[in-house]
Amino acid sequence: MQQTIAVLDFGSQYTQVIARRIRECQVYSKIYHYTTTPAQLQADGVVGIILSGGPSSVFAKTAPIPDRGIFKLGVPVLGICYGIQLFGHLLGGKAAKSDHREYGNGILTIKKPGRLFAGLPKKIRVWNSHGDKVIALPPGFQAIGTTENSPYAAIEDRKRNLYGIQFHPEVFHTEHGVEVIRNFLVGVCGAKQDWTTKDFIAHAVENIRTTVGQSRVILGLSGGVDSSVAAALIHKAIGKQLTCVFVDNGLLRKGEREAVVELYGKHFHIDLRVVDAAKLFLRRLKGVSDPEKKRKIIGLTFVEVFEKSLKSIGHADYLAQGTLYPDVIESVAIGNNPAALIKSHHNVGGLPERMKLKLLEPLRELFKDEVRRVGSALGLPKEVVWRQPFPGPGLGVRVLGEVSAEKLEILRNADAILQEEMMACGRYWKVWQSFCVFLPVKSVGVVGDERNYAWVIAVRVVESIDAMTADWARLPHELLQKISSRITNEVRGVSRVVLDISSKPPATIEWE
Ligand code: XMP
């Protein structure tokens, strides 16, 4: 049986982050509802339990309280934030509302390193987010760390292997946070560090098979990282029971459709249906220049085309999506906290409800870098796994104003040159996005002895961590010169290339 670390979820916004940190330590973990019985945990081979934080106060009427039997399993328990209050509240100590609510940065002074803080400096910067604190230790416990406002910021009962910490070791802003978690997993629970990406894949494959049975699954393949990895994973699990639909909306980059057919159809032998809807999209976009209207038309047309293509494929029970954890805000319902809020953009326009399709989302617990690792392990090429983000409405929002076949063709050719040059110098993999934008203005140029009155192409290359903020990349002048002269020389209909040197904010990454 797989050694499992149980994360009991008390509704924390960080529960999935805890699970992710455990995976980083190469240990297998599973998130459980806080009401899970000790018998169930035992049956699952749980070797350690982590109590997550949570929005509630242990004193609240609706406070989530676990079965006290979990402390008697003989399995180590680590209570984080709300978890440490539970120790105070349930095991004979005392938790109380704190006079000093601690939010954000604080300094933890380690009094006794013991096993939890082994190898750490005496003082570490930690991230807090709590209004309650332990004011009297439960019998058997002693303080092992303090903060300015809290003499019991970290506590332990060595005999029973119970540990409580007020800060959040799982968040990025806590120094040595992963080490604290690793110390608990390995030093205290004796967990084996043998959970790898390959194990994740094997596990996911088994889950998909059990869930799907003999049913058919449909997946809208965009060629982006998430849907590509989902397709490869599901295909590994159920082979021909999976059908992928790729909609050519006419707003794709040069060679994109061909690359998808080559990789998924010919290489992976996935049942791939390519729907050529370029003409329909262009017809619908005719005369429309408002960016939001264009987005809406592209979105609605996609749903219409996708839905129609499903009818021709025949009956399916599942719609698969490459939803990742950051696309989902999900936690246990505590008080008024809704059980699951899913950002709507990831559900294909209400399709599952209308068509009575069940959702299959095998990546929904993973973060982007983990998905990339899974993709590589499944044999997807670097070009797919590390591809830059590309907006759903595609070149539709990169041809400014009204879209036409001619403008798209010019943009595609210019963009292909930019990508080629970015790849050739290796910078493609280092920046967040690099792309061309078609500006709907004509400028005068001179070719040979002739006047050339033609379009303008803007080059946009940005660096970013999460697309929330971005800065324009400082590219070498020689590279810019090559890109510019190649575009003006090789792409008919372009007289001028300009460079976008705006950061976000105040600009956005895309121009529309
Ligand atoms: P902005 O332009 O808002 O872009 O700074 C931030 C990131 O989001 C991408 N983007 C989109 N992605 N549909 C998408 O799927 C869209 O309508 C869309 N608009 C922008 C953009 O490429 C950048 O990575």
Q: Reply yes or no on domain 4-188 having CATH 3.40.50.880.
A: yes
Contact 343 CB / ligand 1 (< 6 Å): no
CA 476 to chain centre: 32
pLDDT of residue 328: 64
Contact 296 CB / ligand 1 (< 6 Å): no
Cα diameter, the chain: 93
**342 pLDDT above the threshold of 70:** no
Contact 393 CB / ligand 1 (< 6 Å): yes
The atom of ligand 1 lying closest to the CA of 510 is: 2
What is the per-residue pLDDT across 406-418, written as a single tens digit (0 to 9) for each?
999 999 999 999 9
**475 pLDDT above the threshold of 70:** yes
The atom of ligand 1 lying closest to the CA of 388 is: 24
Residue 271 C-alpha to ligand 1 middle, in angstroms? 29
Q: Which residues are catalytic?
A: 81, 168, 170
The atom of ligand 1 lying closest to the CA of 470 is: 5
Average pLDDT over residues 302-321: 92
**149 pLDDT above the threshold of 90:** no
Q: Reply yes or no on domain 398-499 having CATH 3.40.470.10.
A: no
Whether residue 146 contacts residue 111, with contact meaning beta carbons closer than 8 Å, is answered with: yes
Contact 434 CB / ligand 1 (< 6 Å): no
pLDDT of residue 282: 98
How confident is the prediction for the chain on average, in pLDDT?
Answer: 92
Stated length of the chain:
512
Looking at ligand 1, which residue's alpha carbon is closest to its atom 21?
391
What's the first-to-final CA gap in the chain, in angstroms? 53
Looking at ligand 1, which residue's alpha carbon is closest to its atom 10?
391
pLDDT of residue 346: 46
What is the per-residue pLDDT across 91-135, written as a single tens digit (0 to 9) for each?
999 988 876 667 778 899 999 999 999 999 999 999 988 778 899
The atom of ligand 1 lying closest to the CA of 390 is: 22
Average pLDDT over residues 305-330: 85
Residue 397 C-alpha to ligand 1 middle, in angstroms? 10
Mutation choice for ligand 1 from 509, 511, 512, CB with most ligand atoms inside 8 A: 509
SS3 state at 291: helix
Residue 507 C-alpha to ligand 1 middle, in angstroms? 12
Residue 424: Cβ within 10 Å count: 11
pLDDT of residue 349: 56
What is the b/e burial string over 372-402, where b = at least 16 CB atoms within 10 angstroms of the residue's CB? bbbbbbbebeeebbebbebbebbbbbbbbbe
pLDDT of residue 100: 66
What is the per-residue pLDDT across 460-473, written as a single tens digit (0 to 9) for each?
999 998 888 999 99
Residue 281 C-alpha to ligand 1 middle, in angstroms? 20
Q: In CATH, which superfamily holds the domain spanning 197-385?
A: HUPs (3.40.50.620)
Reported as a pLDDT band with limits 50, 70 and 90, residue 354 is confident
pLDDT of residue 410: 98
**159 pLDDT above the threshold of 80:** yes
Assess whether the region 197-385 and the region 398-499 belong to the same CATH fold.
no
Please state the domain extents for the chain: 4-188, 197-385, 398-499
What is the per-residue pLDDT across 239-295, written as a single tens digit (0 to 9) for each?
999 999 999 999 999 999 999 999 999 999 999 999 999 999 999 999 999 999 999
pLDDT of residue 124: 96
pLDDT of residue 116: 98
What is the per-residue pLDDT across 53-99, written as a single tens digit (0 to 9) for each?
998 899 888 899 999 999 999 999 999 999 999 999 999 999 888 76
pLDDT of residue 337: 45
